[in-house]
Structure 1
Amino acid sequence: MTTTDSGPTGPRSPEQRKREALERLVRDNDVWVATAAASGEPCLVPLAFWWDGEAVWLATRDTNPTGRNLIASGRVRLSFGHTRDVVLVHGTARMLTREELPVEVGDAFAAKDGWDPRKDHPSYVFFQVTPYLLQAWGTVAEMPTRTVMREGEWLV
């Protein structure tokens, strides 16, 4: 990845930020997952993930706050990277039990993350997160064009 400083070449183009965001989705191991309960109580946790090219796959227990919140609302925000090179995804989550999960998804998740939730505690379920908004920016100069996906469609 290139630097996000607005040095002599200025801010990155939206096309470059999309390309680098997709690289991050393939390369990173963990993501910050933000959900909220019906009462408004926020929950923020890091989780392992796998990107299949169209959706982000997460695994967590259906009994913990993140699992309960995702089941109840299906709404989630994912944050990749750090504050000077962030990829923020707003998405909808669909739960799949380990029995419903396609074998190839479970195998790819386990291969990438070195951990197979299917072999862990029975309360682990999977969530397929479909992005509907994706923003990528590193500096204030990139903020005006930070949205590179809207309503599930790439803008660049």
Structure 2
Amino acid sequence: MTTTEVPRDREQRKREVLERLENEMDIWVASADTGGVPCLVALWFVWHQDAVWLATRPTNPTGRNLATGTRAARLAFGDTRDVVLIDGDVEVHSREEVPAAAAEAFHRKTGWDPRTDRAVYAYYRVSPRAVQSWHEVRELPQRHIMRDGRWLD
């Protein structure tokens, strides 16, 4: 890929973001505590019913951050030349309260079922509010593909 390539249109970028959400295993999760101290960690995830579902221990910094304060997260895929940033609102579900379909989707994708783990895990549903996607500088002007929870045309 070079910077002379024609920029992808919004529909192609949306399609490729949705493919990554279906196929990637790890996603970067950025959160902050109530004092603004940031935390960045990669977690397994599943894209289920138009939301990203994560699982982590509620006592970990990420679990605490997602459950308190603004209940917001920024998610990202790892490649710096094919950027996807997702800003979303977080809902917390204990392993006893998580919707069975979401937990089963997570289990099918990752092979791990946090509901049966000896340690206590919670599930975090991140509903996308904004999505940006771009390949290098040529796509920066049209990088926004979702705003206010709605895909842009």
Q: Provide TM-score, normalisation by structure 2.
A: 0.95
Give the one of 26, 32, 35 matched to 1:30. Answer: 26
Question: C-alpha distance in 1, partners of 2:118/2:73?
Answer: 23
**CA distance in structure 1 between the aligned counterparts of 2:60 and 2:89, rounded to whole angstroms:** 18
Counterpart of 2:14 in structure 1 is: 18
Using the aligned pairs only, state the percent identity: 51
User: Does structure 1 residue 116 correspond to structure 2 residue 106?
Assistant: no
User: Where in structure 1 are there 5+ consecutive unaligned residues?
Assistant: none
Asked if the contact 2:3/2:137 (under 8 Å) is kept, the reply is: no
Partner of 2:135: 138
Report the counterpart of residue 105 of structure 1 in structure 2.
102
What CA distance in whole angstroms lies between the structure 2 residues aligned with 1:96 and 1:67? 11
1: CA distance, partners of 2:122 / 2:92: 7
Q: 2:148 aligns with which of 134, 148, 151?
A: 151
* Runs of 4+ with deviation above 6 angstroms: none
Distance, in Å, in 2 between the alignment partners of 1:53 and 1:96 is 15
Q: Which runs of 5+ in 2 are unaligned?
A: none
Amino acid at match of 1:19: R
What's the Cα RMSD here? 1.2
Q: Which residue of 1 aligns with 2:43?
A: 47
SS in 2 for 1:76: strand
Q: Does 1:57 align with 2:53?
A: yes
- Deviation string, structure 1 residues 77-119 (Cα, Å, up to 9, x no partner): 0001411001100001000011111112111101101111111
Helix, strand or coil: the match of 2:41? strand
Kindly tell me the number of residue pairs found equivalent between the two proteins.
Answer: 152
